[in-house]
Chains A and B, each alone.
Chain A
Amino acid sequence: MPRATLVYQYPKSSVTLDQVQQMQQSKLKFGASSCVLTSDDQFWILTTVWTSPD
């Protein structure tokens, strides 16, 4: 089953937690199979998985 994983890293210096959470909710609302928010010391990391239905 084809699956694409998009790992987007947002600098904490310019993007807030609330903004990243809104983007996370949007991805889930519009069909992503999953979207997990993690972080390291400098970046928010959104890992979104898209899966083909076949």
Chain B
Amino acid sequence: MLFKSPRTRGAGVRAVHARNGFVTVAILLLFSGCAAVRQAPKDPQDNDAVLKELDPYFHGAVVHQYYTEPDKTRRVAMRNEIVTNRVRAYDIEFSRYKNQLSEFGNSVSLGGDLIGLALGGLTATVGNAATKAALGAASAGVLGATTAINKDLFFQKTLPALKSQMDANRKKMKVPILRGLMLSDDQYPLSAAESDLQNYADAGGLEDAITDITATAKVAERAADNEIVSIRTADDFIQLPDKEAIETSVTGMTDSQVLALAKLMESNLPRRPDDVRTAVQTLDPDARRLNGDVARARVAMMAWLDAEVMNAANKKQWADAIKAVSN
């Protein structure tokens, strides 16, 4: 029990009982609220089932078929299928790992902080001295424990940086795989891909992320100078005339038109590939393009266009937006 029953009588007893009842209910509610707030929407996909489906790509008949396939073109297709499905499995596991980290860190710090703050608040508002003392001690205990855990695990402040570093490490290790998938089987056999895949799987570890961050200690600087590596295809050259036509239109826009274009295109940004989103967010991290900063809007739009895969759907979005702001 956190507090003693007060020794009063009559109406005073009822009032104190009512107050104590409120405190008890409040504490129960607070502790029942310790469950972690989800850091990401629930995945509607049954990942266990997907991982089971992907299991054959790690061993067995599928791999055996690849090694016994005499036709080189078919071997490339089989290699790419095996590699992309393994990458998918690693991505699912990594996503789970990140969510677990978030939910653990969140349940410790958020739940503990809220309980501590709420107990502290109640300590200041309830009248009885004994209750105040008990609540104050409980509050200090909760906050003290939370602070100790956070110090040990670096979760409260460093988890976002660690997750960014893990993402960066994985992206870096994915490049050789994506490059390899563009090559012939002679140039990039499955055995070579397996080595790269292992590096990719290992790159999502917490220890590497901590090591990298500690080694450079320049997270903010890296965020301001973001390098985005992508494997592109000949489509970029085929689409160049369409892209240049749109770039010419945007370059010739007035300031107000560019600002309006940035706002119109914003709803499309979340569905763009990682390189487009990263480029725009790196160049305009605080989204000033949406709040009247013309220079930011211009550079963000031009970098977006540079990174854009100008397929028919994306071309139409740009054309529609340009038309809308030009009227």
Q: Which A residues lie at the B interface, using CB under 8 A?
A: 1-11, 13-15, 19-20, 22-23, 26-27, 30-32, 42-43, 48, 50-54
Contact = CB atoms under 8 A, between A and B. Distances in A.
A52 B284 CA distance: 7
B224 A50 contact: no
B196 to A, nearest CB: 14
A54 B244 contact: no
Given A7-B227, A8-B231, 4 more contacts: A3-B226, A22-B240, A52-B296, A54-B296
Contacts of A51: 283, 299
A43 B234 CA distance: 12
30 contacts: A2-B224, A2-B283, A3-B225, A3-B283, A4-B228, A4-B279, A5-B225, A5-B226, A6-B228, A6-B230, A6-B307, A7-B229, A7-B230, A9-B175, A9-B179, A10-B232, A10-B236, A11-B179, A11-B183, A13-B183, A14-B182, A14-B234, A19-B237, A23-B237, A30-B244, A30-B247, A32-B306, A51-B299, A53-B295, A54-B293
A13 B181 CA distance: 12
Contacts of A11: 179, 182-183, 231, 233
Which has the most chain A C-beta neighbours within 10 Å: B225, B283, B284, B303? B303
B303 A4 contact: yes
